[in-house]
Amino acid sequence: MTLVADADIPEPVIRSLQILKYDIVRYSEIGLPSRPDRALMEALLQSGGILLTRDTGIPSQAYLHQYGIHGLTVVLLRWKQQRARDWQEMVEAILRYGESWERTARETPSLISVSRSGSRARPWHALPPEA
């Protein structure tokens, strides 16, 4: 499954992963809308990609739960800074955990939270509607 980076993923992170031939694309490269969030999520449900975002508002939106139930997996990068070191850590985390995110997405649509300390997947069905 391809990681689809939304507009909130820093360009240096995407470029670094593409240089390494990692399976990631920008939403715009495959013709997906960036706004509203609902349109991007609906398009990803149809294409089967995994949404990669830093938008902490996405998981808290009440309507996202319905997308998860129907198969959308969201990977939320929880870095607050936009420094070169933060970008490097994001790339490292994606390279370290990306395969496990793909396995998780195939098995159970989930919300996957990623930070400096690791990666944690929570199936949508185990979350309250407004996670």
Question: Low-confidence residues of the chain, pLDDT below 70?
Answer: 33-34, 60-63, 129-131
In the sheet that 24-26 helps form, which strands lie side by side, from edge to edge? 24-26, 3-5, 50-53, 74-77, 110-115, 118-123
- Contact between 37 and 58 (Cβ < 8 Å): yes
Dump pLDDT digits (tens) for 30-66.
777 667 778 888 888 888 899 999 988 777 666 677 7
pLDDT for the residue 50: 94
| pTM listed for this prediction | 0.90
The whole-angstrom separation of Cα 19 and Cα 14 is 9
pLDDT for the residue 128: 72
The whole-angstrom separation of Cα 18 and Cα 52 is 14
Report strand pairing: 118-123 vs 110-115: antiparallel
